[in-house]
Chains A and B, each alone.
Chain A
Amino acid sequence: MGDALFYVFGALMVLFTFLTIRARNPVYSAIFMILSFASTAALFVMLDAFLLAAVEVLVYAGAIMVLFLFVIMLINLRAAEHDGLRVSPLVVLVALTFLLLLGRGIADLGPVPAGANELVGTPQLVAKTLFTRYVVPFEAVSILLLSAILGTVVLARRSGEA
């Protein structure tokens, strides 16, 4: 059952990602991307990484996609200006090389290191490491968000009103 679901969601993810880059209308691309994110979230759930699944839906499928749609509308991209998928041989070559390297890398990853197989993705476990071992990066994230807020306001207000 678990394996079957993995293949179902994995296939859906690949399909939607393909449709994302294939769609001619950028808004459709964005919608397909949401679906692809949702399938990814389902895969995370199957790995017991519940927090990641929730973040995937909350941040990516929710907030980031809103931004994507706004940007598409802001720059007023029209379907006609977008030629869909144009594949140059060089891109295919690079992608295939990368795939080969990746396959080779995965093939001799070696034994799964100790600790990697345990349950690590539940909110409780993530919280335990995040709020103790990684307290410094956690606080740094708040500074990062604050700088982003500052920058957004400075840049957007000036370009919007100049």
Chain B
Amino acid sequence: MNIDTSQLFAIFGVESLLGLLGLVLIVTDLLVGKGRLTGPATAVRTLAFGGLVAIFAWSFVLEPGAEGALGTLDSFALFFKRFFLATAVATLGVAAPYEDRLSAGRAEFPTLLVFTTLGMCLLSSANDFVTLFVGLELVTVVLFLMAAYRPQLPRSIEAGIKFVVIGALSAAFMVYGIAFVYGTTGSFEFSQISAVINAQESLPAGLKFGLLMVLVGLGFKLGAVPFHIWIPDVYQGAPTPTTAFLSVGSKAVGVVLLMRLVYTVMGPAAAQWTTVLAGLAALTLLMGGLGAIPQTELKRFLGYSGISHAGFLLVALATHSEASAGAILFYVVTYLFANMAAFLVIVIVSRTDDDNHMDRINGLANRSPFLALVLTTSMLSLAGVPPFAGFFAKFMVLRAAVAEPALVWLVAFSLLMAVTSLYYYLCILKRIYMRDAVDTGFLEISGGARLLLLLCMLAVFAFGIYQQPLVQAAEAGASSLFR
């Protein structure tokens, strides 16, 4: 087999550059930062930020369509590469005010972030189960490290250990499933597996079992019930920037792979899985909706809120149509902005990592009207209240789902859970505006953080009012899955 090197770089250009960037960061750390703790961290962070922004900008020059035996760069893959790069940039923004709390390893944090992003981008171009598995391991192993990044804190260690155990379990499911898929189809390639699946009337039990195991493995990444148990503890214990990255990145990794598998690999045969996916969606919505109510810590609360968003994504996934695929892409982007803003606010209002009790945001409106406004926007968008982007995302999902008669019950249930979830988002708003502040210390907001918050808030507004450009990009990305 001959490899066309230029084609290889055309498909995996973003990944190559990210790899190079990561290596440059390590070398910078070693050369500049001999024996100093703070110096190289700033240099490395700045370099990482510049590099990621440059790669993000460059990704808009790329033309989708390069398709080779080794991977695909369809507009779907490109959409998610941009998404992951944007997530990484935002995470660096969230990490900047947090950096003082890291006693060491400050320079390594951006480097590890670049490497996970590489894994995520690799996953969006994966064309076979080998690349999928290696990419997934790259993502999860680095996320384990980032979750346990403050070993002085018992909670961080706890988060790391729980995450490792659950991550190993999900990887085991995944590999086990892949082995069965390989055993029954004789191939790792998505295209060949798809051909085998769609050539048969009914799937052999071994293949069904294999695909089910793969779905279970991805369910862990997405945080779908009953594979969600790790979310609250890991979200709470991990350093906040890691949690921010995890909440958006890990979910999107699950989404990317599930979409690839359900829409492209299973193709029309996925209709048989609608019931399974719809059931999972209903359970996930229920758990996310009810689990968030008693929470008293912000990060746990956002964890449960993330579970309920995973439920909406699963509703869209259960609907097998191009419109629902487009809705998913739109949804994750709105989730990115709203979530990153919320986590950055948490970093600012929580002095130490352990203290993200909801009391922290009491009376935020008086202490910092700007932060209060940002958090309000973000909460309302997550809740799906009309003028904001989150509303339109939910609307797109449900509009696509209602077209399928078998899913009408699920749409009704989703609406019910959306209304329920409104309750706890409003509780947060009540704390912001109607309670007296517990903590009256000065809130320091750096210029960079202010800019990022403003950007997220504007995006949430803008995509809620004028959705067309994002909808078009999402639909273009989605349509390339169905070709």
Of A20-28, A63-71, A86-94, A108-116, the one contacting chain B is: A108-116
Q: Which residues of B contact A148 (CB under 8 A)?
A: 141, 145
- Whether B104 lies near A105 (C-beta < 8 A) is no
- Whether B104 lies near A140 (C-beta < 8 A) is no
Bound: A38/B118 CA distance, A = 36
Bound: A100/B347 CA distance, A = 49
Q: Which residues of A contact B122 (CB under 8 A)?
A: 136, 140
Interface residues of A (CB under 8 A from B): 101, 104-110, 113-116, 128, 132-137, 139-141, 143-144, 146-148, 150-151, 154-155, 157-159, 162
Q: Which residues of B contact A144 (CB under 8 A)?
A: 119, 134, 137-138, 141
- Whether B131 lies near A113 (C-beta < 8 A) is no
Please give 4 more A-B residue pairs, beta carbons under 8 A apart, in addition to A109-B184, A135-B8.
Answer: A109-B183, A110-B206, A132-B1, A150-B108
Q: Which residues of A contact B133 (CB under 8 A)?
A: 137
Bound: A36/B111 CA distance, A = 38
CB proximity of B2 to chain A, nearest CB, Å: 8
Q: Can you list 19 residue pairs at the A/B interface with Cβ under 8 Å?
A: A108-B206, A109-B184, A110-B184, A113-B187, A113-B196, A114-B186, A115-B186, A115-B187, A133-B70, A136-B15, A140-B15, A140-B122, A140-B134, A144-B134, A147-B138, A148-B141, A150-B111, A154-B105, A155-B151
Q: Which listed residue, A105, A136, A137, touches B205 by the CB 8 Å rule?
A: A105
Q: Which listed residue, B1, B112, B118, touches A151 by the CB 8 Å rule?
A: B112
- Whether A143 lies near B115 (C-beta < 8 A) is yes
Most buried by A among B122, B134, B144: B134
- Whether B184 lies near A147 (C-beta < 8 A) is no
Q: Which residues of A contact B111 (CB under 8 A)?
A: 150
Q: Which residues of A contact B138 (CB under 8 A)?
A: 140, 143-144, 147
CB proximity of B388 to chain A, nearest CB, Å: 36
Q: Chain A: which residue is nearest B150 at the CB level?
A: A158
Q: Known contacts A101-B209, A143-B138; decide if A113 and B185 are in contact (CB<8 Å).
A: yes
- Whether B104 lies near A154 (C-beta < 8 A) is yes
Is B98 positioned at the interface, with any CB of A under 8 Å from its CB? no
Bound: A146/B112 CA distance, A = 10
- Whether B130 lies near A137 (C-beta < 8 A) is yes
Q: Chain A: which residue is nearest B16 at the CB level?
A: A139
Q: Which residues of B contact A155 (CB under 8 A)?
A: 105, 145, 148-149, 151
- Whether A147 lies near B142 (C-beta < 8 A) is yes
Is B306 positioned at the interface, with any CB of A under 8 Å from its CB? no
Contact with A along B106-118 (1 / 0, CB 8 A): 0010011001101
- Whether A105 lies near B206 (C-beta < 8 A) is yes
- Whether B141 lies near A108 (C-beta < 8 A) is no
Q: Which residues of B contact A114 (CB under 8 A)?
A: 186
- Whether B118 lies near A143 (C-beta < 8 A) is yes
- Whether B115 lies near A147 (C-beta < 8 A) is yes
